[in-house]
Structure 1
């Protein structure tokens, strides 16, 4: 079962034509961001190779490099990161709302995670390559695959990984939380999953630069990545992103995947309440 793309009730804003100052800002920020990514890769690739030789699929050090890359990436863009609550410690899983490709930077900047993405992302130009390099786990969003997913998740958790996925199955305009798809949650209630398996809801709220469209950082529907990236890089002022970590829960405390998904969705929505008035 594929995840349909969300287009929303209103069309995406048209890109604003850039003036000379905008092109200069985009060039400077883009160059700095590229240097951050390249420097990170030069450190992470040999480190990952060393980890594979000694620890195989365990990654005791390279996730910290990814965190540093994401933090410096946000700084290169000029976007402030604010955190509320405390992220999950140790193995487990996180679920978050999804509004932009920038979510990856925000969610990995302060807490090392292993992203779980739909299999189609593997083949996306640019983003797919970066996702593979980051160690993303690609899966099919299908209830029938729950037993296999439970096995794969169990293997990753046994290695000490923290999984993170987007249950909405697609990105939105950032002004709302879409209904959670429940298929992946079955994997956390399957036979063999540890009784102390914890899941944590995370709310990501993007605050646009002053005077800009509230959906400024959102990337959804059929929006092209290039123009959206250019708009972010060229912004005269940048906004901020707020990441709220909610109270973790035991998966075993819920009777089925729908009850588990509904509880976590309610937590994410509660954290997103400040934006409800903008819908």
Structure 2
């Protein structure tokens, strides 16, 4: 059996007090997320004709929503390292939908997501409104993806994608897929193009499984969200920004992907050792 053959945690048995937390936190999140979505769309009506694709204002709304959302849940962030400056992209390991809140809370970024996400109810609308780049993970579309990345990076956007290609149980780093790294080796991108690896290491609340924050297998978004809303308390997540990798320093996309994976994996193991008090 491999790790993702194991069934994800069952849907929680929610107590009376737990349902109270679900209602209070869920209502607060709904108001913040969709209320600010309306604000973002209103700001975009002015921002688009003045600034086009560059979007200097609306990412602040997204960042504010994510910071507030994490506070509503009670999930703490321990951020280390320096956020990259200048032109570049970000890559991180992927545990669950919470990563979107955690990563957006620390820096203004635009996610790269699989094309299927655009059609998801609710999430798809939010993703489109916040400027997510939708792609198909198909090597045959590498040239088209490269063009999109050139346009977005040329507009000053910082793109973020998850090279593992899937969410996990939050207890491991799985091998990085290399396809999307090819898009950052385009001749149309700046010569100082950088990729910054970021490690996310979640620490479950005391008394819960280590996989508490993971989202994998057949677990539905609704079941995972219910678990997060009903929890009497939350743990924390280490967000570790590693030194940026200069794309031109690497021979090809595979070498670049290996270097990024090595940095993320080292940060993850260090965070686990620190938690264990080693």
What TM bracket, shorter-length normalisation? over 0.9
Distance 2:36 2:202 in 1: 25
Distance 2:135 2:38 in 1: 28
Per-residue deviation, residues 16-45 of structure 1 (Å, max 9, x unmatched):
211101100111111111121133123211
Report the counterpart of residue 136 of structure 2 in structure 1: 140
- Count of residue correspondences: 273
Residues 1:263 and 2:267 aligned together: no
Report the counterpart of residue 195 of structure 2 in structure 1: 199
Report the counterpart of residue 10 of structure 2 in structure 1: 14
Give the TM-score normalised by structure 1. 0.94
How far the C-alpha of 1:102 sits from its partner, in A, is 0.5
Distance 1:38 1:90 in 2: 31
Give the TM-score normalised by structure 2. 0.94
Distance 1:15 1:142 in 2: 34
The answer as to whether partners of 2:5 and 2:217 remain within 8 angstroms in 1 is: no
How far the C-alpha of 1:9 sits from its partner, in A, is 4.2
Gaps of 5+ in 1: 1-5
Q: CA RMSD in A?
A: 1.6
SS in 1 for 2:4: coil
Report the counterpart of residue 230 of structure 2 in structure 1: 234
The answer as to whether partners of 1:95 and 1:166 remain within 8 angstroms in 2 is: yes
Residues 1:68 and 2:64 aligned together: yes
How far the C-alpha of 1:155 sits from its partner, in A, is 0.8
Report the counterpart of residue 181 of structure 2 in structure 1: 185
Report the counterpart of residue 242 of structure 2 in structure 1: 246
The answer as to whether partners of 2:81 and 2:242 remain within 8 angstroms in 1 is: yes
How far the C-alpha of 1:200 sits from its partner, in A, is 0.2
CA gap of 1:7–1:133, structure 2 versus 1, over 3 A, is farther
The answer as to whether partners of 2:247 and 2:256 remain within 8 angstroms in 1 is: yes
